A and B are shown apart, each in its own frame.
Chain A
Amino acid sequence: MAVQSKRGDRPGRPRRFYLSPQARDNIAGFLFISPWLIHFLGLIAFAMIFSFGISLTKTDLLTGFTFVGFDNYVRMWNDPLFWKSFRVTAYYTFVLVPANVVVALAIAILMNQKVAFIGLWRVVYYLPSVVSGVAVALLWGYVLNPRFGLLNAGLAAIGIEGPRWLYSEEWAVPGFILMGLWGAGGAMILYLAGLQGIPTSLYEAAEIDGANSWHRFWNVTIPLLTPTIYFNVLISIIASFQVFTQAYILTSGGPNNATLTQVLYLYRKGFQDFQFGYASALAWALFLIILVFTVLVVRTSESWVYYEGELRK
């Protein structure tokens, strides 16, 4: 920073510093962003370095730290439960995220038609996504109950005998995925906003060119929505990998670890077994996994995300 100071060139006044306009802006800028800078340096950067340090030790946080090198990472590599938790989380994420795109987009397209009672539909589809956390988990724990739950009662009404959902190894994660899809309204609103931003002139042009509604959908609507889909997929992958509340409250990871998500395993190792060194290593593994998948999506985005004002190859 170029800080110029001309001191005391005005006699009779208290000493003042005179700064160039750019220097003043530098100071002002840093002052304005200082809350986040403190957050970043104090709570994020510091904690990341420290967290990596802890992952190289064996510790319960109370009686001291024993340096063990990369033992925790080696242990993790050989830990079947770690791999199990990775598979459970990946399964949940890679079914839920695409399913959510399809369901949310479908609803958004329906609601983008000229329909009566639009306010009512909006509430009906959007309201469930406002309900979150413990409330969703408790409600869906009962909805999925094999004995008296709403879902199996509904299936029975159409002659299907429902599975045992959270009590069965096979159906527990699908149960969680349904629970996640119930909140599709959040993404639906995103898509609806995106749809309403598409200029009608493009559709008119396509129609004049002889495109039927299917062509218009695939060649106008979808390309122009790809930025929205992209944003949404990224956010959902990051969030889904951190799934915790449902598994903690409803199944505690069971049956037979079928719902042991990565964050639940981390929580269990750290805050229940007091193996904070190992838990830190698990946290870093989670971060790396999220990073890899995010980078993959970002890398492939060039080939499928279309930005207006950019020529398509």
Chain B
Amino acid sequence: MIEHGKAYPSYPARRGTDWPLVVTKITAIIGRILLYVVLATGGILFIMPLLWMISTSVKPDHLIYNIPIVWIPPELDWQNYVNGWTALPFPRFYANTIFVTIVNIIGLVLSSSLVAFGFARIRFWGRDVIFLILLATMMLPSQVTLIPLYLFWSKLGLVNTYWPLIVPQWLTNAYNVFLLRQFFMTINLELDDAARIDGAGWFTIYSRILMPLSKPALGVIAIQAFAWNWNNFFDPLIYLNEPKKYTIAIGLRLFQTTQSQQIAETMAMTLVALIPVLIVFYIAQARFIQGVVITGVKG
């Protein structure tokens, strides 16, 4: 075989090799087969834990410990779901989580779009320096501000309410501002000028022009906010201390500490807690992926 090196720019292309066509074809077919074998093996490894969780959640107790694993139990034990659901006030946890999540999605979409609009479209004094500070705060671990904030909320008597979970989101965060700003920057600035000539103010430009054009990006923010709020564990753990105010994440934790022997029930409740995330994922698959593209990963 000829050594191909990048140092020989005028070298003839590969098709000049003297392998008969059949061999090339066979290599290609073997390559395809290998590709699918690797994809399938990896895929099985990735999806197995989820399938195992579903299987365990409907298993009667005596089959859980069975090795080799019984994937489809002879009779499905739906009682696990009933037992789990009624062991703790799960409907309440669900309602609490839905409330916090929806309020926070609205707050985050509103506040981050306003702030991102300011940074992306308006030229004002100190803008670039302030934006650098905003980027720098992304590096700050939230634990640094945790204790003073805890003290702050407890002095206001608002520990064990939802305010500490809601207010920060209504005041937006660096990540979402960054993401939306990147998106806003891609929209032609001449639109603003045209609107201003027609007498529109900044707020009109924001609400009538930028927002309608940014629906995909706003959708991404909303979906990510949904997943984040639904799964958020640390803040509810710190701020909520009464089971009737618990969100699903700490509800699950409570379930795990109080019913640790109930493996099938724990799996069943984990699955129940995941269902909304999976549904949203299913509906918004394309958006999830788009989010990544918008984040402006190119640097």
Q: Tell me whether A36 and B147 are in contact in the complex, defined as CB-CB below 8 angstroms, given that A25-B124, A230-B299 are known contacts.
A: no
Asked whether B13 lies within 8 Å of A134 as measured between CB atoms, the reply is no
In Å, the complex CA distance between A241 and B143 comes to: 11
Flag whether A296 is at the interface (Cβ < 8 A): no
Distance in angstroms from A287 CB to nearest chain B CB is 5
Q: Quick one: closest A residue to B296, CB to CB?
A: A231
The answer to the question of A79 belonging to the interface, with a C-beta cut-off of 8 Å to chain B, is no
Are A242 and B143 in contact, CB atoms less than 8 angstroms apart? yes
Pick the contact of B38 from A110, A122, A143 — CB < 8 Å? A110
Contact of A124 among B46, B133, B270, B278 (CB under 8 A): B46
A32 near B297: Cβ-Cβ < 8 Å: no
A91 at the interface (CB under 8 A from B): no
Interface positions, chain B 139-177, Cβ under 8 Å from A, are 139-152, 154, 168, 170-174, 177
B214 within 8 A of A: no
Asked if B12 CB lies within 8 Å of chain A CBs, one says yes
- CB interface residues, B 215-273, toward A, < 8 Å: 227, 231-234, 238, 249-250, 252-253, 256, 263, 266-267, 270, 273
- Assuming A29-B124, A286-B141, is B274 touching A135 (CB within 8 A)? yes
Known: A115-B35, A130-B281, A153-B67. A193 touches B147 (CB 8 A): no
Query: For chains A and B in complex, what number of residue pairs have CB atoms within 8 angstroms?
Result: 272
The 7 closest A-B pairs by CB, nearest first: A29-B124, A32-B118, A210-B11, A47-B145, A39-B171, A133-B231, A227-B299
B68, CB-defined interface residue at 8 Å: yes
Interface assignment of A271: CB less than 8 Å from any CB of chain B = yes
One of A9-17, A48-56, A80-88 at the interface: A48-56
A156 within 8 A of B: yes
Q: Complex formed: what's the CA distance from A134 to B269 in Å?
A: 11
B148 touches A47 (CB 8 A): yes
Interchain Cβ contacts under 8 Å between A and B, 20 examples: A35-B114, A35-B170, A36-B115, A36-B174, A38-B171, A40-B133, A47-B148, A51-B147, A51-B148, A127-B47, A128-B50, A134-B249, A134-B253, A138-B270, A148-B65, A219-B6, A227-B299, A238-B138, A242-B143, A290-B139
Query: CB-nearest residue of chain A relative to B269?
Result: A138
Question: In the bound complex, do residue A210 and residue B14 qualify as a contact, i.e. CB atoms below 8 Å apart?
Answer: yes
Give the residues from 118 to 139 in chain B that come closer than 8 angstroms, CB to CB, to chain A: 118-119, 122-125, 127, 130, 133-134, 137-139
Interface centre among B137, B144, B203 (most CB of A within 10 A): B144
A46 to B66, CA, bound (A): 56
B87 → chain A closest CB, angstroms: 15
Contacts of A131 in B (CB 8 A): 50, 274, 277
A30 at the binding interface (Cβ < 8 Å): yes
Q: A28 touches which one: B13, B133, B147, B202 (CB < 8 A)?
A: B202
A156-209 interface with B by 8 A CB criterion: 156-157, 182, 185, 189-190, 193-194, 197, 206-209
Is B194 part of the binding interface, using a Cβ–Cβ cutoff of 8 Å?
A: no
